[in-house]
Amino acid sequence: MKLSTTGNELIKRSEGFRSDVYTDVAGFRTIGYGHKIKPQESFPDGIGEPQAAILLASDVAQAEKAVTRLVRVVITQGQFDALVDFCFNLGAGHLAASTLLHELNAGHYADAAQQLLAWDHAGGQVNQGLKERREAEYRLWMKTDTAAQVTA
| Catalytic center residues | 15
Q: Do 142 and 113 contact (CB within 8 A), yes or no? A: yes
Contact 48, 19 (CB under 8 A): yes
CA 55/CA 70 separation, integer angstroms:
23
CA 65 to CA 58: how far, in whole Å? Answer: 11
